[in-house]
């Protein structure tokens, strides 16, 4: 028996169902849903209270032995996990791109001047304004269903969501446009799932080993090394996308000012045997070009 712990949101339940189906019938599975601090404080800006608010209760359940595997969106994980926990597997990754949903159905270029675009992400805000300074980027919170409903009710002209979440919820057809990464570089870890367990739990690690996708895991390591080196939490408009294939990893990353009027962008290549080195090298190049100042500004 493996006990999978996850948040109780519709998206989280869809994600844990993917893992459950891949484990059964060879492994008996129990799904434990938990309400996290992030769920209770959904009215607050995650940039203020930190990424760990979406994982803390699940982490504690693992450490206490009440659950065996935490199923997370990789982008929700802080750059450093609590002592005693490890990312044991990263399943095959969904396309990490961002998606635009507009009401009425319009592409990004078709949005009228001054259109209200909803997002609570500093990364998305910065890149929206960088691409179109005429837009009114306004705060939009809540789960996917809530934000789409509020869009239809006329609160905004458009919203930006992760393509992966829409796909997992069976709502990808509602997207007006999938952003190219030249316009909207994704968040660190976007589109990927992380299976977290207790360090040294070899039995559980062995049971879930077949779920690990080497390319997705390589990309996760490169992107998270970048995040750690920059010491950037979710306040900073940091974006990055790694791609691992044929023994090589390529990483493109950027840091933006909150207003989107300044940005530094870099990329790097290296061996897929050491993706962390690529992440650290790209972070070093970003820092050399002033990324630290942008991160500091975002934190204040």
User: How far lies 21's CA from each of 18, 26, 110, in Å?
Assistant: 5, 10, 40
Query: By the 8 A CB rule, do 291 and 240 touch?
Result: no
**Residue 67: closest CA among 29, 13, 22, 20:** 29
Instruction: Round to whole Å and give the CA distance between 241 and 220.
Output: 9
User: Active-site residue among 45, 59, 64, 76?
Assistant: 76
Strands 116-118 vs 158-162: parallel, antiparallel or unpaired: parallel
Instruction: Round to whole Å and give the CA distance between 138 and 108.
Output: 16
The CA radius of gyration of the chain, in Å to the nearest whole number, is 19
Is residue 76 among the annotated active site residues? yes
Would you please indicate which residues are annotated as catalytic (active-site) residues?
Answer: 76
């Amino acid at each position: 028996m493996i006990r999978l712990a996850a948040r109780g949101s519709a998206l989280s339940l869809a994600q844990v169902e993917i893992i459950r189906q891949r484990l059964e019938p060879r492994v008996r599975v129990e799904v434990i849903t938990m309400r996290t601090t992030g769920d209770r404080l959904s009215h607050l800006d995650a940039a203020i209270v930190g990424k760990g608010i979406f994982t803390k209760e699940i982490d504690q359940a693992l450490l206490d032995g009440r659950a065996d595997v935490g199923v997370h969106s990789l982008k929700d994980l802080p750059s450093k996990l609590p002592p005693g926990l490890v990312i044991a597997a990263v399943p095959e990754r969904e396309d990490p791109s961002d998606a635009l949903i507009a009401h009425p159905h319009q592409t990004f270029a078709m949005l009228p001047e001054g259109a209200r675009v909803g997002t609570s992400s500093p990364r998305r805000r910065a890149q929206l304004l960088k691409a179109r300074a005429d837009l009114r980027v306004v705060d939009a919170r809540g789960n996917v269903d809530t934000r789409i409903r509020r869009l239809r009710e006329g609160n905004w002209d458009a919203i930006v969501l992760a393509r992966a979440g829409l796909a997992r919820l069976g709502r990808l057809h509602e997207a007006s446009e999938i952003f190219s990464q030249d316009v909207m570089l994704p968040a660190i870890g976007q589109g990927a799932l992380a299976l977290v367990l207790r360090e040294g739990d070899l039995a559980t690690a062995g049971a879930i080993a077949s779920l690990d996708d080497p390319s997705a895991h390589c990309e996760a390591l490169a992107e998270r090394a970048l995040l750690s080196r920059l010491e950037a939490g979710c306040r900073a408009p940091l974006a990055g996308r790694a791609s691992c294939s044929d023994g090589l990893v390529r990483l493109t990353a950027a840091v933006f000012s909150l207003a989107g009027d300044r940005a530094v962008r870099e990329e790097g290549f290296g061996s897929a045997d050491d993706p962390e080195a690529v992440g650290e090298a790209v972070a070093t190049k970003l820092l050399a070009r002033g990324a630290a100042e942008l991160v500091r500004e975002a934190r204040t």
